[in-house]
Amino acid sequence: MTAWLIANIAPLMFVTLVITLLIGFPVAFSLAAVGIFWAIVGIELGLLQPTLIQALPDRVWGVMSNDTLLCVPFFTFMGLILERSGMAEDLLDTIGQLFGPLRGGLAYAVIFVGALLAATTGVVAASVISMGLISLPIMLRYGYDRRLAAGVIAASGTLAQIIPPSLVLIIMADQLGKSVGDMYAGAFIPGIILAFLYAAYTMGVTIFKPQWAPALPLEARSLREPNGKSGIVSVGVLVALSAAAAVAYGKIYLKDSPLDETIVISTCVGTAVAFVAAVINKVLKLGLLSRIAERATFVMIPPLALIFLVLGTIFLGVATPTEGGAMGATGALIMALARGRLTWKLLRQAMDTTAKLSTFVVFILIGARVFSLTFYGVNGHVWVEHLLTSLPGGQLGFLIVVNILIFVLAFFLDFFELSFIVVPLIGPVAEKLGIDLIWFGVLLGVNMQTSFMHPPFGFALFYLRSVAPAKQYLDKLTNKLTDPVTTGQIYWGAVPFVLIQIVMIGLVILFPQMVMVYKSTDSTVDPSKVQIQLPPSESGAPAGGSQPGQPETTQQMEEDDKRGNEDAQSLEDAFKSTPAPAPGVPPPPK
């Protein structure tokens, strides 16, 4: 019995975990309890050193001093303030007017705004709710197919999960031991391509089923010129002008800069040109720009400014992701204040929700770290590795199996649970197989995004259901009775987008280049971490508190956990996350 127990302790531990998680007690506590229970069993069996359990407080300490995790409250808080600032509503109204005259225009507007909100730190629930309340009624009024409308809204809302700065990517980077900046750079292009795929699907629909996505009729375009013209020419001219300025600036002044820097600065220049033109036009009442061009410029400025504040500074290497999050949160506060939307009640709610969400996230992580202490102690990682490396097909076989696994698990687990429990188990195996971990992380990110939209559990669908009309209603503008959107229509509407998502997973597997561009931007984020980030040494631990051979720092200890003892890799990563020689040194000149 004892021998059998010793031989099979890792699988037994895993099975216990699955059972305890399924009974429905909070995940964080179950994880930690299972870890501690098996640690005691292991020690009793003589399989583990009694000192192992002494390392528990270090696990908690490691989580506390991990300042990447500060991104979680920062971005959450930013999103919560932003969703009440009215920015999304303004964008949806104006961009809807801008694209509306096109066939399928409202759908394009939803995708565009969805991507834009995602890049400012979108929250899936908030995006879906805003779109469901603002764009959906207009789409229904002008005869959009209900399934298409619902699907586009749900899918565009989930873009927040994959377009940086998203929490999934931060946590994925942390769990895979990679830099958040690299993960952002790697996810950027796949995120944009995904938005284009949604748009391409919409275009396909407008070609084969034009009646599903009609253009807005003339009377619905409220931002027309006094003489009745659409004013779209003016928009085109302004866009062309700004784009020309951006490209010219990039070609002349930024010839030798890395790609991401060029993009960020050129975009700033282009935006500035448009903004200055709009301001001059408004102040001097020149009338050179149409109403819609002026309005579109003004609504685009706040989100673009926020994107610059967060992503721009991260990509430029001016700020760490943590700082970017704090800057973004402060920017969102200022914006909400300026718009008169910031109340004490809103502030308190945002802080309350942020505190609760960060706490449960960090506790799942603590639980997972306690679990992994024992699991690695009994060589559970070797067992998992053995299971997964014996799959046929090498890299590709592994990627396919893992993606199917995550896709299925995502029906039951949310992305925090997946990232903290499953990713640390499969990450080291991926690395052993020579898979780039950023590529792997982005791949899993796209995969987990799907879990927000697959029926019937997808959260995006759930939120859309909560705001979509469930009963027949009288449209106030047209005085027509409008049919409700049924739950079946929402589910069926999401199906094409789930398929697009699967296609996208395939594309990322086939064309890793779209992620690998992060390598060309290597000079960005990390060197800017000016301060030494090493947690205090563990020398304060009581007798027996340190395991033999325990590395100096918690950071390295975590690295070691993940990939056994591949020293070179650990060192490289430790270096990556703690690159600066001394405090107070300015970042190296570009």
Partner 1 sequence: MNALLALSRAIDGVTERIGRTVYWLVLAVVLISAANATIRKAFNYSSNAYLEIQWYLFSVIFLVGAGYVLLHNAHVRIDIISGRLSARAQNWIDVFGIVFFLFPMAFVIMKLSWPLFMDAYTRNEVSTNAGGLVVWPARLLVPIGFFLLIVQGISELIKRIGFLMGRAPNALAKAHGKTAEEELAEEIALQRARDEQGSRP
Q: Does 65 bind partner 1 (CB under 8 A)?
A: yes
Q: How far is CA 453 from CA 92, 149, 161, 464, in A?
A: 21, 14, 11, 10
Q: What residue type is assigned to position 193 of the chain? A: I
CA distance 127 to 111: 11
- Does residue 580 interact with partner 1 by CB under 8 A? no
Q: What part of residues 437-496 is at the interface with partner 1 (CB under 8 A)?
A: 463, 466-467, 476-477
Output 67 or 566, the one with its CB closest to partner 1.
67
Determine the Cα–Cα distance for residues 356 and 81; give it in Å rounded to an integer: 15
| Residue 352 sits in the site that holds partner 1 (CB under 8 A) | yes
Window 40 to 59, contacts with partner 1 (CB under 8 A) = 53-54, 56-57
Query: Rounded to whole angstroms, how far apart are CA atoms 35 and 53?
Result: 10
209 contacts partner 1 (rule: CB under 8 A): no
Judged by CB, which is closer to partner 1: 517, or 532? 532
CB of 354 to partner 1, least distance (A): 5
Of 42, 62, 73, 177, which lies in the binding site for partner 1, with binding defined by CB under 8 A? Answer: 73
CA distance 563 to 182: 19
Integer Cα distance of 176 and 438 in angstroms: 8
Residues with Cβ < 8 Å from 288, sequence gap 6 or more? 234, 281
Number of residues that bind partner 1 (CB under 8 A): 96
Q: Is 583 in the site for partner 1 (CB under 8 A)?
A: yes
Distances (CA, A) of 504 to 302, 447, 457: 30, 9, 21
Q: Is the dihedral of CA 349, 350, 352, 353 positive or negative?
A: positive
Query: Between 78 and 117, how does the x/- string for binding to partner 1 read (CB under 8 A)?
Result: --x--xx-x--x----------------------------
One residue of 9, 17, 28, 149 binding partner 1 per CB under 8 A: 28
- Choices 111-119, 130-138, 258-266, 390-398; region in contact with partner 1 by CB under 8 A: 130-138
How far apart are the C-alpha atoms of 143 and 383, rounded to whole Å? 56
Residues 405-444: x where in contact with partner 1 by CB under 8 A, - otherwise, as a string: -------xxx-xx---------------------------
Smallest Cα–Cα separation from 219: which of 382, 74, 101, 339? 101
- Would you say 346 and 556 are in contact if contact means Cβ atoms under 8 Å apart? no
Closer residue to partner 1, CB minimum distance, 77 or 383: 77
Cβ proximity to partner 1, 234 vs 553, nearer residue: 553
Q: Which parts of 311-350 interact with partner 1 (CB under 8 A)?
A: 318-319, 322-323, 325-327, 329-330, 333, 347-350
Query: What is the nearest approach in angstroms of partner 1 to the Cβ of residue 548?
Result: 18
Task: Check residue 359 for interaction with partner 1 (CB under 8 A).
Answer: yes
- Cβ-in-10-Å burial (0-12, 13-18, 19+) of 192 comes to middle
Cα–Cα distance between 25 and 149 in angstroms, integer?
37
Asked if 450 and 502 touch (Cβ cutoff 8 Å), the reply is yes
**Least distance from partner 1 to the Cβ atom of residue 526, Å:** 16
**Minimum CB distance to partner 1, residue 538 (Å):** 9
Decide: 111 and 198 in contact? Cβ < 8 Å. Answer: yes
Cβ distance to partner 1 smaller for residue 564 or 579: 579
CB nearer partner 1, residue 77 or residue 440: 77
x/- track of binding to partner 1 for residues 251-290 (CB under 8 A) = ----------------------------------------
Closest contact distance (angstroms) between CB of 274 and partner 1 is: 26
Touching partner 1, residues 365-384 (CB under 8 A): 370
> Which CB, 418 or 429, lies closer to partner 1?
418
When asked if residue 129 is in the footprint of partner 1 (CB under 8 A), the reply is: yes
Distance CA 171, CA 177 (A): 10
Token pair, residue 195, equals 């938005």
CB 394 within 8 A of CB 400: no
CB of 566 to partner 1, least distance (A): 26
By CB under 8 A, is residue 25 in contact with partner 1? yes
Region near partner 1 per CB under 8 A, out of 74-82, 168-176, 295-303, 503-511 = 74-82
Quick one: 520 or 537, whose CB is closer to partner 1?
537
Give the closest residue to 415 by CA, choosing from 194, 168, 185, 580: 168
Backbone angles phi, psi at 397, to 5 degrees: -60, -45
CA nearest to 158, candidates 114, 199, 197 = 114
Q: How many CB atoms lie within 10 A of CB 522?
A: 14
Q: Shortest approach of partner 1 to residue 10 CB, angstroms?
A: 20
Residue whose CB is less far from partner 1, 49 or 353: 353
Binding residue for partner 1, selected from 537, 567, 575, 590, defined by CB under 8 A: 537
Please report how close the Cβ of residue 19 comes to partner 1 at its closest, in angstroms.
11
- First-to-last alpha carbon distance for the chain, in angstroms, is 64
Q: How far is the CB of 218 from partner 1 (least distance, A)?
A: 17
